[in-house]
Structure 1
Amino acid sequence: MPKRVTDFIPENHVCYFIANIAEKVDFEKINQIIDEVRKENSDTKNESKIRRSSFKLLKEACSGPRGKQRVLEKLEHAENELEKTPQKTVGLTDPEARWMKNKKHQWELSYNMQIAIDHDHGIILASSITQDPTDYYQLIPQI
């Protein structure tokens, strides 16, 4: 019976590398560093050195073997989504979302929602949610 996470992962997979590192890391030390960085950045809005999602991921990995396994699953899912998109990054909290400009012209991980309505009667005729950042190819599916 396998005793380590790496027993389930091919040696050439990125998760194998991460799992090996995770087994050798001093998590007490990481927790101390996280606390120090948080204290240093407590007066800033976005914790400039390390983002909140990174903290959550580190904390989850530090929580024990189950936490490590969940983090590895998230990383593998994110890696699979990254292969599907021409974009260079994906989010770890929602890997299916794509980078898009919002109405304030800021980039954020998002989805593109389309709605076709009957203007005279106010009835929704069709709706869809896509990962495409633009509306260029969205008219035909709505008709």
Structure 2
Amino acid sequence: MSALWQLSATEAVDKLRRGEVSPLEMVEAAAERIEAVEPKVNALPIRFLDAAREQAKAVRRDAGESPGWLAGLPIAVKDYNDVAGQLTTYGSPIYASHTAAADDRTVGTLRANGAIPLAKSNVPEFAGSHTFNPV
């Protein structure tokens, strides 16, 4: 079997739905991979792995309860997406200490469908077309 971090989103969701892997196992696999490669690539400068672990533990698969199409799937969003209670810098020093009050529409929709945000990926300042940000 491939390492969990190597699965496509579709493969991961299939395994989650079949109960072959738990949401917490998926989050832990993603966290381990992030910790292994992040120092070299600087792709996910904002991480909230403990919050993701708690959300993973709360995913319910009881009969009659729909956990959502993406239930248990760990995801990263861009640093221009607001995740409630987490840092959102928009890649700019102006917002270097800005904490989002609520999820934005994208994150809210993903979360409503069971996805588990665990990190934010780097973005150029204000999501511009250049490839560098000063934060």
Task: Give the TM-score normalised by the residue count of structure 2.
Answer: 0.28
Task: Give the TM-score normalised by the residue count of structure 1.
Answer: 0.27
Name the one with the larger strand percent: 1
Structure of greater relative contact order (alpha carbons < 8 Å, 6+ residues apart): 2
